[in-house]
Amino acid sequence: MSTEPPSPPSPPSPYVPPKVWTWNKASGGRFANINRPIAGPTHEKALPRGRHPMQLYSLATPNGVKVTVMLEELLARGHAGAEYDAWLVRIHEGEQFGSGFVAVNPNSKIPALLDCSGPEPVRVFESGAILLHLAQKFGEFLPADPAARAECLSWLFWQMGSAPYLGGGFGHFYAYAPSKIEYAIDRFAMEVKRQLDVLDRRLAESAYLAGDEYSVADIAVWPWYGALAKGLLYEGGEFLQVHEYRHVQRWTDLIAERPAVRRGRMVNRIQGQPSSQLHERHDASDFDMRTQDKMGSP
Ligand SMILES: N[C@@H](CCC(=O)N[C@@H](CS)C(=O)NCC(=O)O)C(=O)O
């Protein structure tokens, strides 16, 4: 009989990728029911269609809010052609994989827009493309001067390239991954703090990202980095010490005051105060009984 004490459990062996990746459905964590390695529809489902020129299929995530804010801003400037029906797409229930939605966005992600103002509907997907489509169509929120326009487009595309590190990188590993991986959290926390510093330095020299005027660049960046600056994303405010980015804070507060922003944030929203949620928007009067809060309440 051995008298040696039992040996302590050995640490989990490091993962060694196999030669060929295979789909282990159980490893998908919180998003296992919607993440798939293949594109295309999972089921037949036609999209609803309303009476307005713009048909939006979306949800009030930061990417969705960009578009509802843009449409509300255009309406506030008197563009009746920007009237829209906003339909709710519940991405956690897989509605982005319905055949009708995939026909509007083959990438199966909100937001997706159908511009029905012409003889044939025009589909637009990717929030940056939607903002640019609307800005060019209505001649708003995109500077006419070539140098100012170049600055505006640079920040617009900066957002498109940067936010995946914030959401898919930092947010995923800090808040959603089934285990906390120090290497991954460090890597993406560092990158997100660097991004906040990029914005902070820019906003130290001008009121808005493209210069003196509010533009599609602010409309794209604010829902992500403004929410982050207010501690509303991934409960990461303290961890990232977001209060230190004081020019980002100033800009976030300034934009949060805009009535169109307060309205746009409510559209297709399914969490937070019930009175601040407008699941679908079909008319300006839909906002009447709602609380249009600023950036403060989640
Ligand atoms: N680059 C895209 C990203 C869109 C995106 O990631 N949408 C998310 C919600 S914020 C989505 O629909 N996810 C559903 C899924 O991945 O199945 C854009 O800016 O429009």
Instruction: Report all structural domains of the chain as residue ranges with CATH numbers, in order of start.
Output: 146-261 (1.20.1050.10)
- To test ligand 1's pocket by mutation, which of 89, 109, 233 has the most ligand atoms within 8 angstroms of CB? 109
Can you give the pLDDT of all 298 residues of the chain as single tens digits?
A: 455 666 666 666 688 999 999 998 776 677 777 889 999 999 999 999 999 999 999 999 999 999 999 999 999 999 999 999 999 999 999 999 999 999 999 999 999 999 999 999 999 999 999 999 999 999 999 999 999 999 999 999 999 999 999 999 999 999 999 999 999 999 999 999 999 999 999 999 999 999 999 999 999 999 999 999 999 999 999 999 999 999 999 999 999 999 999 999 999 999 999 999 999 999 999 998 776 655 654 3
Omega before residue 111 within 30° of 0, cis? yes
Distance 220 CA to ligand 1 centre (A): 14
Distance 5 CA to ligand 1 centre (A): 53
Q: How many Cα atoms occupy the beta-carbon half-sphere of 20 within 13 Å? A: 1
- To test ligand 1's pocket by mutation, which of 43, 63, 159 has the most ligand atoms within 8 angstroms of CB? 63
Q: Which residues pair with 281 in a beta bridge?
A: 86
Number of helical H runs and strand E runs in the chain: 10, 4
Task: Give, as one character, the DSSP assignment of residue 176.
Answer: I
Whole-prediction pTM: 0.93
Nearest by Cα to 124 from 112, 136, 116, 107: 112
In this structure, the residue with its CA closest to atom 5 of ligand 1 is 109
* Ligand 1 first shell, C-beta below 6 A: 34, 61, 63, 91, 96, 108-111, 126-128
